[in-house]
Amino acid sequence: MKVRDRLAEFDYVLKDEQEADEAEQTHWTLRGLPFDMDVALRRRAAKSKLEIPGAGKAMGKGQEAWTKAMESSSMILDMEGGQIALEFDILKYGLMAVSNLIGPDGNEIEYPGSKASDSSKKNWFSQWLDPKFRTELANAITEHSALSEDDVKN
C-alpha cells in the first residue's frame, strides 16, 4: 500500500489558473488536517446538510415531474451556513502561505499567515477569495491524502 503524509505542506494552483503561464499563477501552500480535526469537521458536515432525493430537478414543475425526478437525482441543502463555516475552519488551519496573489492595484496581496488570529484570517478569506475558490481550496486540503489512480499504479 502506498501512503502520503497527510500533514505535509503541498503546493496548489487553482483549476482556473492551471493553464496560465507559471509567472501568472497564484501558488497556495496548503497542508492536510490532523486526524481529530478531520473527523470533527466531517461530523459537522454531515449534521449541516439535509438531502432530499430527487428534489433538484423537480422544483416547481408539478407532481409528475417531482415523481419522475425523485427516481434519479438529489438536492442537498446547506443548513444554517454550515458549509461556509466548515470551509473557513478548514482554510484557517490548512492554508499556510500564498504567493503571487495580485490585487486590483497590481500589487501582491499578503496573507496574514498561519499564526494570525482566526478573525484576521476569516476577514482575509472573505475579502480576497471568491466563494468558489474557498471551496476549491478547502476541498484540496481535505482530499490531500487520497491517492490518484496514477499514484496507485506507481
Q: Is the pLDDT of residue 44 over 80?
A: no
Counted domains in the chain: 1
The full length of the chain comes to 154
Is 151 a domain residue? no
Is 104 a domain residue? yes
Is 48 a domain residue? yes
Is 153 a domain residue? no
Mean pLDDT of 91-100: 94
Could you tell me the pTM of the whole model? 0.69
Is 1 a domain residue? no
Q: Is the pLDDT of residue 17 over 50?
A: yes
Is 116 a domain residue? yes
- Domain of 25? 9-146
Is 64 a domain residue? yes
Is 128 a domain residue? yes
